[in-house]
Structure formats: structure tokens, C-alpha cells
A and B are shown apart, each in its own frame.
Chain A
Amino acid sequence: MNRFAIPLGVFALLVVVLAIGIKHSSNLGVIVSPLLGKPAPEFALPSLTDSTHIVKSSDLRGRWYIFNVWGTWCGGCRQEHSVLLEMRQADVVPIIGLDWKDKADEALSLLQQLGNPYEIVAVDKDGREAIEWGVYGAPETFLVNDQGVVVYKYIGPLTHEAWEKEFLPRLPPKQGAARAQEAAKS
């Protein structure tokens, strides 16, 4: 019995270590943002629809908002577009767009064709703002609270499930699920 105690113990330890490894590997490719729980980057960028208007992060303070990084060159963004429109329809939280390294005329015509889910779109022509947010591949979507703190980050094309399971429950009650239900009823 004692002869097997140590090898068995080592084996059990190995199983635990590997199990932890496997459990975490499902998130492989999704990198946890160090921005979570930290203040969102400050920005002041020209608006897509009116380049003389500057979109400022300070103007957003006091409201929850969704910060969605996209571009017309990005296939996943096209894929999530209908979900964004649905989120806009729910009218629960404003969506701020960041048009990442894109051509303004193409971005505008895409929004015209497919519909515009954004309250306002900030333009990041040279990609510097995306670096501030730690963006490494569009689409990426952040949820920022009324204190200007990043609450959640979603990587990849948004889905209806992600909206219901990840975003709505994180929103304050009067903005979140309750209002979404009201919107669904009416």
C-alpha cells in the first residue's frame, strides 16, 4: 500500500495540474484584458459623420456605454452588425463606435446600407486609439460604466446570446434586463 502512496499522490497532482490547464485552454486565443476594472482610456477623436465634431470620453462620463471597435475591412464586424442593430433597438445602452484604420467614405456608406447602430462613431485613422484599448483584432466590444471604468470586454463577433448573457446582466437594473423586457413587450 505504502509503495503506491507516493506514485499515486504524484499522479493525482499531475491530474489536477493538467485539469486546470485543460479548463483554461478553452479560452485559448481570448486574452483577458488588463483594462478590466480600470478606467477606460481618455480620448478625443473626430466623429465619422462630422469630422469637425470631436467625440470626447469626458462627454460620456456619467452614462454606461458600449465601445465597439470595427472597420469595413473586418468580416466579423459585418457578421455582428445585425446584433448591434438589435442592441440599438433595445435602447438600453448607447453604442459608441470606433472606426479602426478605415476609409471614412466606405464606413459611411456601409452604415447607410446596413443601418447605423451607433450613437456616435469616433474615427481612429492611424490605429493609435486602438492600441490604448489593447485591441488586437476587430471586432472587440467593451462595456464601460458610468464611472468610466471598463467592466467587460468581448472579443469576436457579438451574438444575441452574448448580449443577453454577458452584457445585459452587467448593466444596472434600471438600464439592464428590466428595460430590455419593457422594450420587448411594447
Chain B
Amino acid sequence: MMRRWALALTAMAAVFALFATAAYAVDPTQMPTPELQKRYLGLTHELRCMQCQNEAIADSPVDLAADLRRQVHDMLLAGKTDEDVRNFMVARYGEFILFRPRMSVRTAWLWLAPGVLILVGAFVAVRIVQQRSALVTQDNEPLEEDIRS
């Protein structure tokens, strides 16, 4: 029994290992320093593959994604900052290439909307509570009259 379990586990591990190497095969790029490697991975995970649109260029096997990764690689090696790379991409592909849209006049509502909605909700809640409490005192008055009469 134990041996069968061990066998199943080994088989599963082998399958996972296979998939793991397949995932890495998309982008085998190695930057010369760990610091550059970290920035490279960060950038390739936050840039959208414009062809597949729901994948980052880091994960996409599409040709264009490979070209854009090469672009990121070359720009980082040339000493460009992360923001330089983002600006380069946005200038050519538009804001859509960034998975995290930047704060600008056009996208400000994305960030402001939740706060505004909470304020509206709080205002409505306070008003309802005030109205209800006003109702209670109004209800009491006729009751007192009833007692008096």
C-alpha cells in the first residue's frame, strides 16, 4: 500500500516537474546581475502581451512578446530606468500595455471612485438613520395625546 502511494507521488512529481520546465521555457533570459534580473522580471510581468491581451509578456509564447522582452532586456542593459521602459512602451502601444494603469486625469476616477462611493454611502446611511430617529419622536407625540385624553 505504502509503496503504491510512493509510486503515485513520484509520478505526480515527475509530471509537475515536466510542466515546471515547460513554463520556464517561455523566457529563459538571464540578466547579468540579480538586481537587473529582478527588474527584468518585474517589468516583463507588468507589460501586457498586446496580441493575447490577458497575458503578461513574461508568460506569453507569442513572437511579439519575445520581441518586447528583448526590448526590455536591451533597454535595461543600456542603463535605462524602469520608468524609461514603461514610457517607451506607452509611447508606442498606449496606456493599455500597462497592467497597472497609471494615475492621470483620464484614469483618476479609477482611484477616486471607491472613495466617492464610500462617502455617498455614508451620507445616505446617516440620512436614513436621522430620518428614522425623527420618525420615532413623531410617533411618540400622538401616543402622549392618547394618554391625556
Residues in chain A within 8 A of chain B (CB atoms): 29, 31-35, 101, 126-128, 130-134, 136-137
Contact among B51, B67, B90 for A131, CB-based, below 8 A: B67
| Contact between A132 and B67, CB atoms less than 8 A apart | no
Beta-carbon contact of B91 and A131 below 8 Å:
no
Binding site of B, secondary structure by majority: helix, strand, loop or mixed? helix
The residue that A132 contacts in the complex, of B51, B53, B92, B94, with Cβ under 8 A, is B92
| Candidates A29, A32, A130, A133; contact of B94 at CB < 8 Å | A32
Interchain residue pairs with CB less than 8 A apart (28): A29-B53, A31-B50, A31-B94, A32-B94, A33-B94, A34-B90, A34-B91, A34-B92, A34-B93, A34-B94, A101-B63, A126-B67, A127-B64, A127-B67, A130-B64, A130-B67, A131-B67, A131-B68, A131-B71, A131-B92, A132-B92, A134-B92, A134-B93, A136-B51, A136-B64, A136-B93, A137-B50, A137-B51
**Chain B contacts with A in 41-94, Cβ cutoff 8 A:** 50-51, 53, 63-64, 67-68, 71, 90-94
A111 to B25, CA, bound (A): 36
Instruction: Kindly state whether residue B111 has any CB partner on chain A within 8 Å.
Output: no
**Leading 3 A-B pairs by shortest Cβ distance:** A136-B50, A134-B92, A127-B67
How far apart sit A132 and B91, CA to CA, in the bound complex (Å)?
Answer: 9
Is the beta-carbon distance between A128 and B67 smaller than 8 angstroms?
yes
How distant is the Cα of A137 from the Cα of B63 in the complex, in angstroms? 10
